[in-house]
Amino acid sequence: MSTKTVLITGGASGMGLLLGQCYAKEGANVVLADVNRDALNSCVDEIRTYHQNVIGVQVDVRDYAQVCNARDEAVEQFGSIDILINCAGGAETRICNAQGEFHETPIEVYDFGLDVNLKGAFYFDHAVMAQMVKQNSGVIIHLGSITGEEGSGNAVAYAASKSALMHGVTKSIALAGEHHNVRCVCIAPGPVLTRPAMANMKTMLGRAAEPQEIVDMIMYAASEKCEFLNGVTILMDGGRSVMFNK
């Protein structure tokens, strides 16, 4: 793993940060990309207490120029981008504190949700694919959600974005990388205990996932052990999707 460089969006919190920590412990070069500069600096400082090959790049995923800058900084520092993991995002109504009904929610809230959750990942896929084509190798991981299967009457842009990533984008990026040894996989969790409220979502197992469980699956899917895995979404939801009659 020491020769691999991993670029993680949303890397200053939640599963993005946990992924950065885990990859650093395995000896990878780690690039954390996040919009929150203070949190980013703190996370990089913490990881550097046990692993020096980590940098932080402030980036708003809605700005393609900033996305390209993050890619270029990663390549300048470490020479390659072997794994891209798109973690940045979240339900727009929660992030923007807009909890009204769909028709009452300002369209700007949904613009934000689509830009961050869908276009942000799309921008990073496009920018980093250019580098992976040069290398003739790479893995792109999308973070989906059970909401992309279930839908949401409130966080409509989040549901639409995750559904698009899980189906159209993951398949299409896999096809785009077909002749360049670049594969694309989506891991779609159910409820995960990155926030206490997730414990209230029902699953067949009667609990939400621990973040480490999802991170372990992402790292496995991105590894050389899964070279035959491409263009698919793995729904890791504790059986929630088959509980229609529960």
29 bridge partner residues: 5
Provide the pairing of β-strand 5-9 with 138-143. unpaired
What would the pLDDT profile of 152-167 be if each residue is shown by its tens digit? 999 999 999 999 999 9
Distance, in Å, from the CA atom of 212 to the CA atom of 9, rounded to the nearest integer, reads: 17
Q: What is the CATH number of the domain that holds 135?
A: 3.40.50.720
What would the pLDDT profile of 198-238 be if each residue is shown by its tens digit? 888 889 898 999 999 999 999 999 999 999 999 999 999 99
Write the CB contacts of 127 (distance below 8 Å, at least 6 apart in sequence): 64, 67, 68, 70, 71
Distance, in Å, from the CA atom of 197 to the CA atom of 208, rounded to the nearest integer, reads: 10
Mark out the alpha helices in the chain (DSSP H runs). 14-25, 37-47, 64-78, 92-95, 107-114, 120-135, 147-150, 156-164, 170-176, 211-222
Distance, in Å, from the CA atom of 135 to the CA atom of 125, rounded to the nearest integer, reads: 15
In the chain, the number of structural domains is 1
Q: Residue 224's CB: how many other CB atoms inside 10 A? A: 8
Using pLDDT thresholds of 50, 70 and 90, give the confidence band for residue 3. confident
- b (16+ CB within 10 A) / e for 71-108: bebbbeebebbbbbbbbbbbbbbebbebeeeeeebeee
Distance, in Å, from the CA atom of 159 to the CA atom of 201, rounded to the nearest integer, reads: 16
- The total number of residues written for the chain in this structure: 246
CA dihedral 102, 107, 108, 112 (to 10 degrees): 60
* Domain residue limits at 99: 5-242
> Mean pLDDT throughout 46-69?
97
The dihedral of CA 77, 83, 86, 88: what is its sign? negative
Instruction: State the first-to-last Cα distance of the chain, in angstroms, to the nearest integer.
Output: 43
What would the pLDDT profile of 82-140 be if each residue is shown by its tens digit? 999 999 999 999 999 998 899 999 999 999 999 999 999 999 999 999 999 999 999 99
- Whether 246 has a pLDDT exceeding 70, the answer reads no
